[in-house]
Structure 1
């Protein structure tokens, strides 16, 4: 039996990944990789990529729920395929799914939960759109979520000679946010 690598994800900086990490460690993960960002895309999921690259034959990638890996059927199946290509196992705690390339029902279950994630994503966007439309109908000006990143702080650190990765670490933001702040 190989090692178990855990993977945790939260959607925003104000959420805490520690609960997921503790649960994954309790389930046997020797190290837990974690990303901050929405599950709608695999783009920018550097820690997930790192975890998959480290998998060796017989190892296991463990996630608590399918939506922690992805909210898209194709992405979820892509992750599973990449894990299997490394002769490793993708295990999801709840619902219990073990994808090792030998059980068609595990792939069917992964597909179903990927579809459920896509539906949830659709419903979230529809509710958001209705809220924006209602605000506009009341005459409110919708400006989106308030900025949480100080462009001045980003520019100051850049002026000090720091790269995007170091700026992101210091400000506890994503690199893409650094690039957006610098471009604005």
Structure 2
């Protein structure tokens, strides 16, 4: 058997810690544990997962504790599984026990099922979030996401003679954000 690469993910840095997942993955045989912090509803921006997938080789294994640590979407979960198999490696999920090597139809069915469960769970999370935001708006408590751009700084740069493109580059924001800040 080749080396075992572990993968862990937490949704946020706020109160969540990857250390318990990491310790369990190491206990299960992972020699290296890759971890991302962020939403599991999409694959974009999951740089550590990409690194783990690149390092897989024939006979090695990608290990995750739960399917939703890899993805909360059927398509994404199956994409990851197929990328693992293309490398000649195995995808192993600890709970529920799933070992996917591309040859077992039942393992693929299990991945599909848990991907579907993740999609449904993601849908309910978003629905609860929308209801919470609407309720907060009715109470007058919800003000939206805090501004990340200082309009005074944008105006100051414009007063220095910089155009929207130059301001956007300097502040590392989009031009549309510059125009919105100037209009505010």
Q: Distance in 1 between matches of 2:74 and 2:143?
A: 32
**Where in structure 1 are there 5+ consecutive unaligned residues?**
153-178
Normalising by the residue count of structure 1, what TM-score does the alignment of the two structures yield? 0.79
The answer to whether structure 1 residue 10 and structure 2 residue 6 are counterparts is no
The answer to whether structure 1 residue 89 and structure 2 residue 90 are counterparts is yes
Q: Distance in 2 between matches of 1:63 and 1:36?
A: 15
**Where in structure 2 are there 5+ consecutive unaligned residues?**
151-168, 178-184
Offset of residue 135 of structure 1? 1.5
What are the within-5 Å matches in structure 2 for residues 3-152 of structure 1?
A: 3-14=3-14, 15-144=16-145
Normalising by the residue count of structure 2, what TM-score does the alignment of the two structures yield? 0.79
Residue in structure 1 matched with residue 172 of structure 2 by the alignment:
182
Tell me which stretches of 4 or more aligned residues in structure 1 moved more than 6 Å: none
Report if the CA contact (8 A) 1:151-1:182 is conserved: no
What RMSD over aligned residues (CA atoms) do the two structures have, in Å? 1.9
Residue in structure 2 matched with residue 158 of structure 1 by the alignment:
none
Q: Which has the larger radius of gyration?
A: 2
Q: Distance in 1 between matches of 2:143 and 2:123?
A: 21
Q: Distance in 1 between matches of 2:67 and 2:103?
A: 19
Report if the CA contact (8 A) 2:8-2:35 is conserved: yes
Deviations 1:144-172 (A, max 9, x none): 4x68xx889xxxxxxxxxxxxxxxxxxxx
Aligned length: 154
Three-state SS of the structure 1 residue aligned to 2:35 is strand
Q: Distance in 2 between matches of 1:12 and 1:96?
A: 26
